[in-house]
Amino acid sequence: MKTIQQFHTDLADHQPLDAAQEAPGEMQTAPQNGQQHSARHGLKWFRYLPVFAKFILAQVGALLWVLFSFWIALPWIHNLDLVLGPILTAVIILGVAVFPGYISGFVLFSTLMDRRPKILEITEYPAVSVLVAAYNEELAIADTLKSVLRQEYPGALEVIVVDDGSKDGTAAQVEAFDHPSLRLIRQPINGGKASALNAGLQHAQHGLVITIDADTYLYHNAIKFIVGRYLSDPSNTAAVAGAIAVRNSRKNWITRLQEWDYFHGIAIVKRVQSLYQGTLVAQGAFSLYEKSILLELGGWAPVVGEDIVLSWGMLTKGYRIGYAENAVVFTNVPESYRQLFQQRRRWARGMFEAIRAHPRILIQPRLTLQFVFINLLFPFIDLSYMLFFVPGIIAAFFGFLLIAGPITLLLIPLAALNNTVIFLVQRRMFKERGLRIRRNLRGMFLYVFFSQLLMSPASIAGYASEVFRLSKTWGTK
């Protein structure tokens, strides 16, 4: 059997593979008659710009936007200074306008210049081990396994389900399959997601490992595309994150909002990070890893943000994480605000855990170091949003425009332009995969105007949980 390094070497001179694929005709999407489409993204004249040039141009564009906003808002800033003083004025301006405006501008210009690298033609696919950590997933695990076993992956595939002390019929659902490629490992006591994944890793027989959540449905050829992305990427690639979409978006307003959050927010962040050769997180819901590097890092740490801690461990070792935007899976998202709050609190806490575990990531010089520092700004941005922006908007409805001034209001057209560009880019990718975006105007409205209002309190709770070292649990969402 070839080594992973040999696969990278053998593919060096191969031609690109067309990405058009057949759609399964289910869930919230629809097939597009098998049409093939170009894989080009971004503006055509950006095609031959090197990555560093794109990075500089995006920086310049974002900074020019911030300077323009300042120039427009100088009289308002002066009035704010007279009332609140220079220190509080600076804090408010940075938190509710400058940093959010800069980040939005950088994402906008980067997205415009992004052109996804094509997957090379692959004649022999390596064997893959799929790990599914499950805890009380009786209602979802069967559909997940069906989607995995129907993948028609061209290489050898083994599926390992680790039942992490479930108290329902999860194990019985797995045993009912009786499939030669499927194995069930039962842990008598719930030890957490990291413990379950590490148990599966010890039984994995192949050099590539894919993790998926127990309530995740793999779209057609998702494994083939994520492996193809890995084999087409630079040889120091240790992991590849897949693309996550929402499966239960029709359930209620909470899931409708999250459909746009995954389709716009989460996907575009990974796309931009990947453009600059540095995706920060290979999420546990659907990602590929080199088994040897997992073992080198000791597997998954027993923390609530096990995927970000593992990912930052790879980055500190000099490895690279890729992103396969066309390796699409659909997952069930939280259906109540309580579940959503708990999920986003864990995500925010995971960032602090990763910094604590790998502080060296803050001083390693590389193009994507900026993304780490942007993550460090999120606690300040979230606090500023709750303490200043929300009260300022409420006050504006009563005629008090002290905080909701021009520089803040200028974020509205920037956000509109940003979301339009993101939508067009994401729609093109969906079309190439034979998927159609479901009409969800209510979800879009909720996402644009209320998502941060819902997410920021959860994130602040997550930051505080890690600072005060509160207890950690693995939930089902």
Give just the sign of the alpha carbon dihedral 251, 257, 263, 266: negative
Does residue 108 have a pLDDT over 80?
yes
Tell which wins on pLDDT, 355 or 436.
Answer: 355
Q: Of 39-43, 198-202, 267-271, 306-310, give the lowest mean pLDDT range.
A: 39-43
What SS3 state is found at 402? Answer: coil
Q: How far is CA 305 from CA 12, 74, 221, 262, in A?
A: 35, 42, 28, 18
Are the C-beta atoms of 165 and 135 separated by less than 8 Å? yes
Are the C-beta atoms of 105 and 2 separated by less than 8 Å? no
**Structural domain spans, the chain:** 4-39+116-362
pTM of the model: 0.85
Tokens standing for residue 206: 């192949």
- Strands across the sheet with 128-134, in order? 182-187, 157-164, 128-134, 208-213, 286-290, 237-246, 320-331, 216-218
Tokens standing for residue 298: 């000791």
Cα–Cα distance, 448 to 77 (Å, whole number): 26
pLDDT, tens digit (0-9, with 9 covering 90-100), for 224-278:
999 999 999 998 999 999 999 999 988 999 999 999 999 988 999 999 999 988 8
Instruction: Give the model's pLDDT for residue 4.
Output: 53
Mean of the per-residue pLDDT values of the chain: 86
What SS3 state is found at 451? Answer: helix
Looking at the DSSP assignment, which residues form a beta bridge with residue 209? 129, 289
pLDDT, tens digit (0-9, with 9 covering 90-100), for 414-460:
888 888 899 888 888 888 888 888 778 888 889 988 999 999 999 99
Q: Of 29-43, 98-112, 303-317, give the lowest mean pLDDT range.
A: 29-43
Element (H, E) at 127: none
Cα–Cα distance, 412 to 285 (Å, whole number): 32
Q: How far is CA 271 from CA 107, 358, 372, in A?
A: 10, 24, 15
pLDDT category of residue 18 using cuts at 50, 70 and 90: very low
Does residue 173 have a pLDDT over 80?
yes
Does residue 343 have a pLDDT over 50?
yes
Average pLDDT (283-287) is: 95
Give just the sign of the alpha carbon dihedral 276, 277, 281, 286: positive
pLDDT, tens digit (0-9, with 9 covering 90-100), for 174-220:
999 989 999 999 999 999 999 999 999 999 999 999 999 999 999 99
Instruction: Give the model's pLDDT for residue 20.
Output: 31
Instruction: Give the model's pLDDT for residue 466.
Output: 87
Instruction: Give the model's pLDDT for residue 410.
Output: 76
Does residue 38 have a pLDDT over 60?
no
What superfamily does domain 4-39+116-362 belong to in CATH?
Answer: Spore Coat Polysaccharide Biosynthesis Protein SpsA; Chain A (3.90.550.10)
